[in-house]
């Protein structure tokens, strides 16, 4: 008998359009491992309302994100693709895990500190307890790996702590998952300010998957490089953060190593390097953009994908939830 495949799970918030950081830090890694694992990927719509959303935009972006997942290469036949709010077990386990997550732990989360600084007029309970819901998202599916970018590692580590705490009291209920971080692309930085990570909150320094080629080229040509005197393409995250970030991006999209890139641009200045990175990104994103546009026009297909995804996800999640409810002492309905 075949041994069952290991399980991978991850999600992205549809709070903005998908960008190159999401693609290189997360989705590309998911696609490359489709055959190897049993895969669950979702639109984390419940997480987005920790910050105020325009309802119609959230609905539109959730479906666009699904179309983009598929266009990036996530075949719905081989990956369970679903919308978080369609599987009530997330909220249900989220509540239970809230009661096993400590105030001190939640207070240390970088994403909470960043987001509460940016939304000082709306520091709500959901923003604070967000990591307990994320722990539920993960633990419901008993995954082996959670493929995320560097910035989400802290949340996966908290998930491990919560799972271990729960298991310590009730026996082996949850599998303890590992974060799975790519070698190239785990932390893509902003093109205009390479000290910060690329994020939709700074659109000038952020390349979106659906952006037009000419706009992408313009952003790369204007990318901040470093004001050192040598002006050569050399990897040094400390001294040359701008060039090093562009090298990371080029490496992630072409598969070339950092040494190969240094050799390729030896004797050439930033003027040759920046458009070369832009072109490589344009060519990577072109088929994704075209395919996503095509898929998005087929609403019936998208509906069929997310319904089938929710059905499969609910089945798996329900099994874990029933076990948890029994362990904590809830009467079976």
- Binding-site residues, please? 13-15, 21-22, 137, 149-151, 188, 197-201
Cβ nearer to ligand TYM, comparing 22 with 85: 22
Helix axes 89-98, 299-328, angle to 10 degrees: 40
Residue with tokens 């991006």, as numbered in its chain:
249
Active site residue 113: no
What residues are designated binding site for ATP? 13-15, 21-22, 149-151, 188, 197-201
Task: Report whether 119 contacts 294 (CB < 8 A).
Answer: no
Please identify which residue in 8, 28, 37, 47 interacts with ligand TYM, judged by CB under 6 A: 47
DSSP H or E run through 83: strand 79-83
Please identify which residue in 7, 8, 26, 66 interacts with ligand TYM, judged by CB under 6 A: 26
Q: Which stretch binds ligand TYM (CB under 6 A): 93-101, 113-121, 185-193, 294-302?
A: 185-193
DSSP 199-218: -TTSGGG--BTT--HHHHHH
Residue with tokens 């893509």, as numbered in its chain:
188
Residue with tokens 């890139």, as numbered in its chain:
261
Give dist(CA 193, CA 314) in Å, integer.
Answer: 42
Give dist(CA 321, CA 333) in Å, integer.
Answer: 13
Q: Which stretch binds ligand TYM (CB under 6 A): 117-125, 192-200, 262-270, 315-323?
A: 192-200
Please identify which residue in 7, 71, 140, 148 interacts with ligand TYM, judged by CB under 6 A: 148
Cβ nearer to ligand TYM, comparing 113 with 268: 113
Active site residue 115: yes
Q: Encode 154-179 in three state secondary structure.
A: HHHHHHHHHHHHHHHHHCCCCCCCEE
Please identify which residue in 72, 109, 127, 188 interacts with ligand TYM, judged by CB under 6 A: 188
Catalytically annotated residues: 115, 197, 200
Residues that bind ligand TYM (CB under 6 A): 10-13, 21-22, 25-26, 44, 47, 134, 137-138, 146, 148-149, 151-152, 155, 186-188, 197-199
């Amino acid at each position: 008998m075949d041994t069952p495949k290991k399980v991978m799970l991850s999600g992205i918030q549809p709070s903005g359009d998908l960008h190159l950081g999401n693609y290189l830090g997360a989705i590309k890694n998911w696609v490359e491992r489709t055959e190897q694992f049993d895969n669950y990927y979702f639109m984390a719509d419940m997480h987005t309302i920790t910050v105020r959303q325009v309802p119609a935009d959230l609905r539109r972006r959730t479906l666009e994100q699904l179309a983009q997942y598929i266009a990036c290469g996530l075949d719905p036949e081989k990956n369970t693709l679903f919308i978080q709010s369609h599987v009530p077990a997330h909220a249900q386990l989220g509540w239970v895990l809230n009661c096993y997550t400590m105030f001190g732990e939640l207070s240390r989360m970088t994403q909470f500190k960043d987001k509460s600084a940016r939304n000082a007029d709306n520091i709500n309970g959901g923003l604070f307890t967000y990591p307990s819901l994320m722990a539920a998202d993960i633990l419901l599916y008993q995954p082996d790996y959670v493929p995320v970018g560097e910035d989400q590692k802290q949340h996966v580590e908290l998930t491990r702590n919560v799972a271990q705490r729960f298991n310590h009291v009730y026996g082996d209920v949850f599998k303890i998952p590992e974060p799975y971080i790519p070698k190239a692309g785990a932390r893509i930085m902003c093109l205009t300010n390479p000290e910060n990570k690329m994020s939709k909150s700074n659109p000038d320094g952020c390349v979106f998957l659906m952006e037009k080629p000419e706009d992408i080229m313009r952003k790369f040509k204007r990318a901040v490089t470093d004001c050192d005197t040598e002006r050569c393409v050399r990897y040094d995250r400390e001294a040359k953060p701008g060039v090093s970030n562009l090298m990371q991006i080029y490496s992630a999209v072409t598969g070339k190593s950092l040494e190969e890139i240094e050799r390729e641009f030896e004797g050439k200045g930033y003027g040759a390097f920046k458009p070369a990175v832009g072109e490589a990104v344009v060519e990577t994103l072109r088929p994704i953009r075209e395919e996503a546009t095509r898929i998005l026009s087929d609403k019936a297909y998208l509906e069929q994908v997310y319904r089938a995804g929710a059905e499969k996800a609910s089945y798996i999640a329900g099994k874990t939830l029933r076990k948890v409810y029994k362990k904590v002492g809830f009467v079976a309905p």
